[in-house]
């Protein structure tokens, strides 16, 4: 009994920190509609800063709490600066750009923290005056945990009062619902949004600073907390602070008790709860369904045109050139070229689901990784050859997409994106924790092609045939009736049921197709590397896919190929440098701000703008 109660209190204490991060994320999303990937980074910076300030201030009760508040305020300012310099320019961009931009911030902050605090994990100080335990039902409970249990609801109350009892809060809620209307009523949104970012970042910083007596401070804190915070926000309802509290408590308790029953799968449990909540109550536990969503007017794409003779000729030329590559290139270039082909398929499958299908996936790495693991597992456990491995890859990915897709297509927009992320985290956690089968962190080694393909050039030709075939097949699907349905469903979902189409089923099928093609890419990838690790399923891999699509331009079918080329070469060049993440982050931010239509889309826009201008001038 006492043990379970103690466990319950531990759960609540963890919930407090989670609530602080998630409530900040939720408030920011509610008002600005930005899914802030960098929110975990703000949490991490809060922890590091608090550690430094504690050491700098005189030791004692006052010093500790002053450090916590100073760190939180500093993080608040950092958040406001990020908003002011970067995100302010992205409010009208599609969510993909915002997400990728905030991921750029994640990369920059990661390297900044590495430069300032070094790569070693840091053990934080105890909280003076709260560093012993009290016995409740005979079980030792850390005093600091009790303090956290009090702090959580106190912050909830304070935030609730600010939002519901002040004019600022009324304006925030008004802007949450309809930004354009709020501006037309004289509300200065720029100021409002910056202040909202300050508050949200302050809460994240507070959450991080309060964690230092409980958790070692490390460079992994950011992405670890962000996935969980997403889950909390989605379960609670986007934009709902009480919802975030409730969901944090649920997740905190789930972790505290789940660890007793299934120590291996606590992460999976949290995501399962999220999947169930989203399917039963898509707007989250305390979220409100959107009654009037006034999305900013965006530029519509032009209808797709089938390739003419010139385009066909160009494609054929490129394929011939690629086939000729081994004559001039060395092994090293061929390895890079194979990577590019693999990622071109990966990005094309992601573009298919996002651009044609209109379903933004934040977790597409799941299917890439499932393909890679599918092939590797066949080799490792069934002793299968390469052919069976390459068949197993799309099969495993397709089955995964069949399962997760069933949940995902029941949602749309950001919620769908979150669920895809959650699905990817489930797969990642399984691969990471199921040591006996997947090898856990050590991965699966020795997945090599048979002798006749061991040569780099031979394998390159295999990759070339499979990948070009895959991309052309995807393109064909886009122009087939099925592609019409997807485009129609993306543009006018209401219409589909009114012309007898089961849109959800088609979208589910599209999800599976995208999964299968990502799986093909994963299969080719694993045989070129000879091994697979859980990293192939992790958030950065998914984001890399998004970046490739974004580099190429989301609504151009050839874009992903250009994106994969650019990104893979860029990463290859940069990763030799010391602070390559920060540089990559800066490049991402640059592209998002300067060429929001991507490289291919940007060039097309440029051509359009030139003709537009001359058209307009001719009109006058």
Point out which residues bind other proteins (CB under 8 A): 167, 170-171, 173-174, 177-178, 180-190, 288, 291-292, 294, 297, 299-303, 306, 476-477, 479-485, 487-488, 490-492, 494-502, 506, 509, 513, 608, 612, 616, 619
Which one, 188 or 311, has the nearer CB to other proteins?
188
Q: How near is the Cβ of 403 to other proteins at its closest, in Å? A: 20
**Is the CB of 297 or the CB of 321 nearer to other proteins?**
297
Nearer residue to other proteins within complex by CB, 195 or 333: 195
Closest contact distance (angstroms) between CB of 30 and other proteins is 11
Name beta bridge partners: 531: 445
DSSP string, 163-220: HHHSHHHHHHHHHHH-HHHHHHTT--HHHHHHHHHHHHHHHHHHHHHHHTTTS-B-TT
Minimal distance in Å, beta carbon 427 to other proteins?
26
User: With respect to other proteins, which residue has the nearer C-beta, 47 or 595?
Assistant: 595
Q: How far is the CB of 233 from other proteins (least distance, A)?
A: 18
In whole angstroms, give the CA distance from residue 206 to residue 518.
Answer: 40
CB nearer to other proteins: give 136 or 492: 492
Q: How far is the CB of 213 from other proteins (least distance, A)?
A: 39
State the minimum distance, in angstroms, from the CB of residue 188 to other proteins.
5
With respect to other proteins, which residue has the nearer C-beta, 301 or 535? 301
SS (H, E, C) 33-46: CCCCCCHHHHHHHH
Query: Three-state SS string across 154-167, please?
Result: HHHHHHHHHHHHCH
Distance CA 31, CA 29 (A): 6
Min dist. Cβ of residue 515 to other proteins (A): 15
DSSP state of 59: S
- Residue pair 37/103 in contact (Cβ under 8 Å)? The answer is yes
Of the candidates 473, 578, 463, the one whose C-alpha atom is nearest the C-alpha of residue 521 is: 463
Residue 568's nearest CA partner among 538, 544, 552, 592 is 544
- Least CB distance to other proteins at residue 359 (A): 16
172: tokens are 């925030």
CB count in 10 Å sphere of residue 494: 8
Q: Are 49 and 221 in contact (CB under 8 A)?
A: no
Q: Half-sphere exposure of 242 toward its Cβ, with a 13 Å CA cutoff?
A: 10
CB of 508 to other proteins, least distance (A): 12
Question: Rounded distance, CA 244 to CA 184, Å?
Answer: 30
Judged by CB, which is closer to other proteins: 436, or 619?
A: 619
Closer by beta carbon to other proteins, 486 or else 537: 486
User: Apex CA 220: angle with CA 217 and CA 226, to 5°?
Assistant: 105
Q: Which is nearer to other proteins, 177 or 438 (CB)?
A: 177
CA distance 260 to 7: 9
């Amino acid at each position: 009994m006492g043990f379970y109660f103690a466990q319950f209190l531990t759960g609540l204490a963890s919930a407090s920190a989670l609530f602080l991060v998630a409530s900040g994320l939720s408030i920011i999303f509610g008002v600005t509609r930005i899914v802030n990937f960098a929110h975990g980074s703000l949490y991490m910076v809060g922890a590091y800063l608090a550690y430094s300030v504690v050491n700098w201030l005189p030791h004692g009760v006052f010093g500790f709490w002053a450090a916590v508040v100073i760190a939180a305020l500093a993080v608040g300012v950092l958040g406001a600066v990020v908003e002011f310099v970067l995100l302010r320019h992205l409010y009208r961009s599609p969510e993909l750009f915002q997400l990728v931009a905030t991921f750029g911030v994640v990369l920059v902050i990661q390297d900044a923290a590495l430069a300032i605090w070094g790569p070693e994990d840091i053990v934080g100080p105890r909280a003076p005056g709260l560093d012993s335990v009290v016995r409740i039902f005979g079980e030792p409970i850390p005093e600091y945990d009790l303090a956290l249990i009090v702090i959580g609801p106190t912050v909830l109350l304070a935030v609730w009062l600010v939002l519901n009892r002040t004019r600022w809060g009324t304006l925030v809620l008004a802007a949450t619902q309809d930004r354009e209307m709020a501006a037309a009523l004289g509300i200065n949104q720029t100021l409002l949004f910056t202040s909202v970012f300050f508050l949200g970042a302050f809460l994240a910083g507070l959450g991080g600073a309060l964690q230092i007596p409980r958790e070692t401070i490390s460079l992994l804190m950011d992405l670890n907390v962000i996935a969980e915070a997403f889950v909390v926000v989605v379960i609670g309802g986007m934009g709902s602070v009480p919802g975030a509290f409730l969901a944090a408590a649920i997740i905190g308790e789930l972790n505290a008790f789940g660890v007793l029953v299934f120590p291996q799968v606590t992460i999976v449990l949290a995501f399962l709860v999220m999947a169930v909540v989203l399917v039963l109550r898509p707007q989250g536990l305390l979220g409100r369904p959107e009654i009037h969503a006034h999305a900013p007017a965006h530029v519509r794409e032009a209808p797709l045109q089938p390739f003419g003779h010139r385009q066909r000729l160009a494609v054929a030329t490129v394929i011939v050139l690629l086939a000729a590559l081994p004559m001039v290139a060395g092994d090293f270039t061929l390895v890079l070229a194979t990577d590019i082909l693999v990622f071109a398929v990966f990005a094309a499958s992601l573009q298919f689901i996002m651009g044609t299908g209109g379903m933004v996936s934040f977790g597409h790495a799941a299917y890439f990784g499932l393909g890679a693991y599918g092939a590797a597992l066949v080799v490792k456990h069934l002793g299968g050859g390469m052919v069976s491995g390459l068949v197993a890859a799309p099969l495993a990915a397709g089955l995964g997409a069949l399962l997760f897709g069933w949940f995902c297509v029941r949602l749309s927009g950001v919620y769908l994106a979150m669920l895809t992320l959650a699905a990817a985290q489930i797969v990642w956690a399984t691969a990471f924790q199921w040591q006996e089968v997947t090898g856990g962190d050590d991965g699966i080694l020795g997945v090599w092609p048979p002798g006749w393909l061991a040569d780099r050039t031979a394998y390159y030709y295999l990759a070339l045939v499979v990948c070009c075939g895959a991309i052309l097949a995807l393109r064909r699907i886009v122009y087939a009736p099925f592609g019409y349905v997807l485009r129609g469903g993306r543009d006018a979902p209401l219409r589909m049921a009114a012309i007898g189409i089961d849109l959800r089923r088609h979208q589910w099928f599209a999800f599976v197709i995208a999964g299968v093609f990502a799986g093909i890419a994963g299969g080719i990838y694993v045989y070129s590397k000879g091994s697979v690790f859980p990293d192939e399923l992790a958030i950065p891999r998914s984001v890399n896919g998004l970046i490739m699509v974004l580099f190429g331009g989301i609504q151009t079918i050839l874009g992903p190929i250009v994106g994969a080329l650019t990104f893979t070469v860029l990463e290859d060049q940069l990763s030799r440098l010391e602070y390559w993440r920060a540089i990559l982050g800066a490049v991402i931010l640059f592209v998002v701000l300067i060429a929001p239509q991507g490289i291919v889309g940007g060039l097309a826009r440029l051509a359009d703008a030139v003709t537009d201008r001359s058209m307009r001038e001719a009109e006058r």
